[in-house]
Structure formats: structure tokens, C-alpha cells
């Protein structure tokens, strides 16, 4: 038997410190709040220098302060190509290329069919779909061999939620991007996967509720989840770290559902409640 040869994407040349992303550079869009913030903190704790973005400068500053010198915050709208170019130039100036993209910025709103305007349709697709596309495309020249791209989908693309059709459709597009880009980038040794959050307690989720009804929304979401609760941002961050690191070195073009069993489990109590 021959001795094992290094895998094609084992590109780390530095001595191991036990941290999974030492010497790596990561970009987290929407890293100033919620899932993105938790992921930025986790990737930095594992040794990466993290570039994080958002539109609100105050939130960016607070996010960077929570991480320290291994974070750089840049105010950038993912739907604006000029902003994305500024981010790319800052990463280029850092001088180590880019090893991880967590293309996470996005959001949604409830609008019933019958009330959807062309403006809402265009704006939501521009941020969630266009923002993901142009983030990845703008950063493409910077990516090191062995890089990992993680996209943010949603269980909304699997399950029907009334009045959420535009958001769900944007996240269905993300699922498709993940597979196609994985195929396109495979010869560069770049992996692409999509993390699929169920309901996670973030400002983005509570912001879907009318003022004062955030807790009621969280309770309602928790009641639908087989595990009986909604997710925590750090539970998504753990999944992002797995997909971003060499721990997932043989995984590409797939989806990691992090939803407490919401999508796949039909537990007896749910079946009993279901119409026969
Ligand atoms: N929380 C959930 O239950 C859940 C479930 C499934 C999927 N997701 C997805 O997870 C991702 C993160 O959501 P979250 O719940 O963590 O929401 P959040 O707390 O509202 O965070 C969203 C982040 O994205 C940024 N962002 C929004 N629009 C942007 C834009 N045009 N350009 C740049 N940054 C932008 C926000 O900063 P600014 O507002 O300052 O720009 C913020 O940093 C989203 O893609 C969301 O669709 C969330």
C-alpha cells in the first residue's frame, strides 16, 4: 500500500496552532448582525482575518469592536458593484488573497400575492440574488486554491410560508447558484456549499413582525420546529465554520440544513395535527 498523498485542497503551509483557519482571510457579507456576525466572530476565533460588511456603520463598528484586530469592517451594499469593488481592493491590499466567502447579506418581508409591486420584486432579487452573485463574482480573482464559498439559503425555499413568495424564490435561486458554481469552480479547487438556516433568533427574523410582536413571532416559529425551539446564531456559525474549513474538504455543491428538524422530520405530534 502506498503512503497517502496530500489532498488537492490541503494548501495550508503554516505550522498548525490547533485553530482551523489560521493565516486565512475571510469575507462575511452582512457580518454586522445576526447569523453573519456570529459567523464572523467564529471564523476570527479560529484564526482568520475577517472582512465584514453591512450598510449601517454603527453596527459595523460594534461588530468589529466585538472581534478586535482580526476584523476589518467596510460599509458596503451588496447590491452596489462599486461598493463590492472597494471591498475587493481592501482584501487585495491585505495581501493574502481570500480563502473564505460567506455570502450571507440578505433579508425579506411578508407580502401576500396580489400586493407585490415591481419595486419590491426588483429590490429583493437585487439584494438577495444579485448581491450573492456579484459578491462572489467580484471576489473571484482573489480566491486562493482550496478556498471555500458558503452561501446562505433558507428553509423558506423548501417549505411554503404564505406571503413569503418573493423571499422564498430568491433563496431557491441561491440553492441553484451553489450547485452550478460548485461545478464551475471545481477545477480551481474551490468548493461551494449552501447553509440552510431554519428560524434563527436574529434582528432580521424579529424584524419581520409588526412592532411589539417580535416575541410572538419567535414563539410561533419555535412551535413549528420539531426540536421545540428556534436556532441560535452561533449554531449557524458552527455550520458555516464546518463548510468554510478543511473539515469539509470532500463536500461541494451541497446544502447543510440547520433547522432543528423543521424541513425533514414529520414527528407524530405534527402528523396528528395535520389534516387527514
Ligand atoms: N434569521 C433567520 O431566521 C434566517 C432564516 C433563514 C435564512 N436567513 C438568512 O440569513 C441571512 C442573515 O440573516 P439574519 O437573520 O442574520 O438577519 P440580520 O440580523 O438582519 O442580518 C442581516 C445582515 O445583512 C446585512 N445586509 C442586509 N442587506 C444588505 C445589503 N444590501 N448590503 C450589505 N449588507 C446587507 C445587514 O446589515 P445592514 O442592514 O446594515 O446592511 C446585516 O448585517 C440572510 O440572508 C437571511 O435571509 C435567516
pLDDT tens digits, one per residue of 101-158: 999 999 999 999 999 999 999 999 999 999 999 999 999 999 999 999 999 999 999 9
Query: Active site includes 167?
Result: yes
- Residue 6 phi, psi dihedral angles, 5° rounding: -60, 140
For residue 197, the CA-to-ligand 1 centroid distance in Å is 12
Whole-prediction pTM: 0.93
C-alpha angle 229-244-76 in degrees, rounded to nearest 5? 85
Distance CA 29, CA 36 (A): 7
- Residue 129 phi, psi dihedral angles, 5° rounding: -90, -55
Answer whether residue 8 shows pLDDT above 50.
Answer: no
Residue 166 CA, distance from chain mean position: 18
Answer whether residue 173 shows pLDDT above 50.
Answer: yes
Q: What is the pLDDT of residues 26-78, one digit of tens each?
A: 999 999 999 999 999 999 999 999 999 999 999 999 999 999 999 999 999 99
Residue-level pLDDT at 40: 99
Distance CA 58, CA 64 (A): 10
Considering 102, 134, 167, 177, which one is annotated as catalytic?
A: 167
Mean of the per-residue pLDDT values for the chain? 93
- Mutation choice for ligand 1 from 42, 60, 74, 107, CB with most ligand atoms inside 8 A: 107
**Structural domain boundaries in the chain:** 21-265
- Residue 71 phi, psi dihedral angles, 5° rounding: -125, 145
Measured from CB, residues less than 6 Å from any atom of ligand 1 are 29-30, 32-36, 53-56, 59, 77-79, 104-108, 127, 131, 152, 154, 197, 199-200, 202-205
For residue 30, the CA-to-ligand 1 centroid distance in Å is 6
Range in 190-194, 209-213, 229-233 the model is least confident about = 209-213
Residue-level pLDDT at 156: 97
The C-alpha cell at 222 is: 419555535
For residue 129, the CA-to-ligand 1 centroid distance in Å is 13
Cell 461551494: give the residue: 192
Rounded to a whole number of angstroms, the CA Rg of the chain reads 19
Answer whether residue 15 shows pLDDT above 70.
Answer: no
For residue 233, the CA-to-ligand 1 centroid distance in Å is 12
Residue-level pLDDT at 16: 65
Answer whether residue 239 shows pLDDT above 90.
Answer: yes
The C-alpha cell at 131 is: 448581491
Residue-level pLDDT at 268: 65
Residue-level pLDDT at 188: 96
- Mutation choice for ligand 1 from 27, 32, 33, 101, CB with most ligand atoms inside 8 A: 33
For residue 268, the CA-to-ligand 1 centroid distance in Å is 33
| Residue (of 240, 201, 237) closest to 220 by Cα position | 201
Instruction: Spell out the alpha helix ranges (H) of the chain.
Output: 34-45, 57-67, 81-94, 118-125, 131-139, 165-185, 203-206, 214-224, 233-244, 268-273
Q: What is the pLDDT of residues 16-37, one digit of tens each?
A: 678 999 999 999 999 999 999 9
Distance CA 91, CA 59 (A): 20
Distance CA 259, CA 57 (A): 30
Residue 214: CB partners within 8 Å, gap ≥ 6? Answer: 206, 207
DSSP annotation of 194 reads E
Residue-level pLDDT at 119: 98
- Mutation choice for ligand 1 from 28, 30, 133, CB with most ligand atoms inside 8 A: 30
Q: Give the residue whose CA is nearest to atom 42 of ligand 1.
A: 30
What is the CATH architecture of 21-265? 3-Layer(aba) Sandwich (3.40)
Residue-level pLDDT at 45: 98
Residue-level pLDDT at 267: 81
Amino acid at each position: 500500500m502506498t503512503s497517502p498523498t496530500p489532498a488537492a485542497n490541503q494548501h495550508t503551509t503554516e505550522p498548525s496552532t490547533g485553530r482551523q483557519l489560521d493565516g486565512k482571510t475571510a469575507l462575511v457579507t452582512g457580518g454586522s448582525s445576526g447569523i453573519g456576525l456570529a459567523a464572523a466572530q467564529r471564523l476570527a476565533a479560529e484564526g482568520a482575518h475577517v472582512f465584514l460588511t453591512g450598510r449601517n456603520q454603527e453596527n459595523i463598528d460594534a461588530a468589529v469592536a466585538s472581534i478586535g484586530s482580526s476584523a476589518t469592517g467596510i460599509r458596503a451594499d451588496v447590491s452596489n458593484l462599486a461598493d463590492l469593488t472597494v471591498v475587493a481592493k481592501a482584501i487585495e491590499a491585505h495581501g493574502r488573497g481570500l480563502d473564505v466567502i460567506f455570502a450571507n447579506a440578505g433579508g425579506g418581508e411578508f407580502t401576500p400575492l396580489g400586493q407585490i409591486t415591481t419595486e419590491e420584486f426588483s429590490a429583493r432579487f437585487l439584494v438577495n440574488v444579485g448581491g450573492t452573485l456579484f459578491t462572489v463574482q467580484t471576489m473571484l480573482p482573489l480566491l486562493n486554491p482550496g478556498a471555500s464559498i458558503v452561501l446562505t439559503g433558507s428553509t423558506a425555499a423548501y417549505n411554503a410560508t404564505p406571503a413569503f413568495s418573493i423571499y422564498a424564490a430568491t433563496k431557491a435561486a441561491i440553492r441553484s447558484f451553489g450547485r452550478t458554481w460548485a461545478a464551475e469552480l471545481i477545477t480551481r479547487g474551490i468548493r461551494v456549499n449552501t447553509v440552510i438556516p431554519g428560524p434563527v433568533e436574529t434582528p432580521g427574523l424579529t424584524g419581520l413582525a409588526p412592532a411589539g410582536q417580535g416575541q410572538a413571532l419567535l414563539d410561533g416559529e419555535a412551535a413549528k420546529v420539531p426540536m421545540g425551539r428556534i436556532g441560535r446564531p452561533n449554531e449557524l456559525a458552527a455550520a458555516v465554520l464546518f463548510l468554510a474549513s478543511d473539515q469539509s474538504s470532500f463536500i461541494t455543491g451541497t446544502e447543510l440544513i440547520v433547522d432543528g428538524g423543521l424541513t425533514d422530520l414529520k414527528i407524530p405530534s405534527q402528523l396528528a395535527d395535520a389534516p387527514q
